[in-house]
Amino acid sequence: MLNIAIVALAAVAQRSLALDIVFTEKCADVTPVEPVAPITDPWIDPRLRGGRMLDSVYAWRIGEPLNVIISGQSHADVLSQTGFVDYARSIGFSDECLGLHMGTVHEADLGDGMGWRPEQLLARQTFRTSLEIPLWGTTCWESLAGGNHFRAWRQNGSLANTGAWFLAVSQEMSGREHHMIVDNGYNLGRDLLVSRAVSPPKGSLWVADVAWIQGLIEPGVKGINHAIRQDGLVALLTVRRREPSKPSRKWPSLWAVLRFLLPFLPL
């Protein structure tokens, strides 16, 4: 009986070992897959998730074109709320006059799951002299006399968390004319902002590359506030930090040379 029991246990052990060996061989056939880093979209078309490329004025759903996008692949310092405000200042825009809001609050749906929401920033053009010294009032002058301005929303909802900023840029008339948009004002406002972004003032920390996108906005006046024609182009700006320029070599002045040579000159 003892011999039979030993034989039976040996058979069970052999089967278990065989099963283990078979299982190990099957696992060896599977090639491990390296984890893939998630792809970060620089921006996502709001229309794909129920949004649109026009903001909204009042309840009539007419709106102004979101004609500039700050790419989510821009420098991280530009994409934060405070960093974006600082960047806007570097290209000639700033907060409203005395912090007082003038005009209608617009809304936008960027298709990121946050629905229609009010503008996160309204920035106005700062006027400067040829010496780059701000005139009195800075954006207060724009509020009175008119000029460039933009509203901005950040695409950071759960459905499209790109971090990109969508801007509705335009050029407007004076406060006396209720800040109506000038003729061709959507195109003019966009182009002025882009020109400042790609050719920033001397000493600016930031410079942008631009790509022009067609097909996001229908050209013309359909659904456009004030029925002002626009070309449908959207400027995609990718903002990067400027490489610090090497200090130029300063040559000594004539007086400094003479002071150095004077002890060696025959008198």
Q: Cα dist. 212→72, 80, 199, 231 in Å?
A: 16, 24, 16, 12
The larger pLDDT score, comparing residue 58 to residue 67, is at 67
Query: Taking 90 as the threshold, does the pLDDT of residue 16 lie above it?
Result: no
* N- to C-terminal Cα separation, the chain: 130
Mean pLDDT comparison of 1-15, 21-35, 144-158, 224-238, highest-scoring range: 224-238
Determine the pLDDT at residue 125. 87
* Per-residue model confidence (pLDDT) at position 207: 97
pLDDT for residue 218 is more than 80: yes
By mean pLDDT, which of 53-67, 74-88, 104-118, 139-153 is the weakest?
139-153
pLDDT band at residue 80 under the 50/70/90 scheme: very high
pLDDT for res 43:
98
**What pTM value is reported for the model?**
0.73
| Backbone CA torsion sign across 222, 67, 86, 91 | negative
CA angle 62, 122, 60 (to 5 degrees): 15
Tens of pLDDT, residue by residue over 84-103, are: 999 999 998 987 665 555 66
Taking a C-beta distance cutoff of 8 angstroms, is the pair 242, 205 a contact?
A: yes
Give the pLDDT confidence score for residue 256 in this predicted structure: 66
Q: What value does the mean pLDDT take over residues 214-240? A: 97
Dist. CA 22–CA 29, nearest whole Å: 11
Is 143 buried (19+), middle (13-18) or exposed (0-12) by CB count in 10 A?
A: buried
Residue 129 has pLDDT above 90, yes or no: no
> Cβ–Cβ contacts within 10 Å for residue 136, how many?
7
d(CA 223, CA 54): 8
- State the greatest distance between any 2 C-alpha atoms of the chain, in Å, as a whole number: 130
Band (pLDDT 50/70/90 cuts) for residue 261 is: low
Does the structure show a pLDDT above 70 at 37?
no
pLDDT for the residue numbered 202: 85
Tell me: pLDDT of 158 over 70: yes
Closest CA to 67 of 53, 51, 81: 53
- The stretch 9-26 carries a mean pLDDT of 39
- CA distance linking residue 4 with residue 10, whole number of Å: 10
Could you tell me if 93 and 124 are in contact, meaning their C-beta atoms sit under 8 angstroms apart? Answer: yes
Question: Average model confidence (pLDDT) for the chain?
Answer: 79
The predicted structure's pLDDT at residue 134: 47
Q: What's the half-sphere exposure (Cβ side, CA atoms, 13 Å) at 116?
A: 11
Q: Which candidate, 123, 256, 128, 152, places its Cα nearest to that of 201?
A: 128
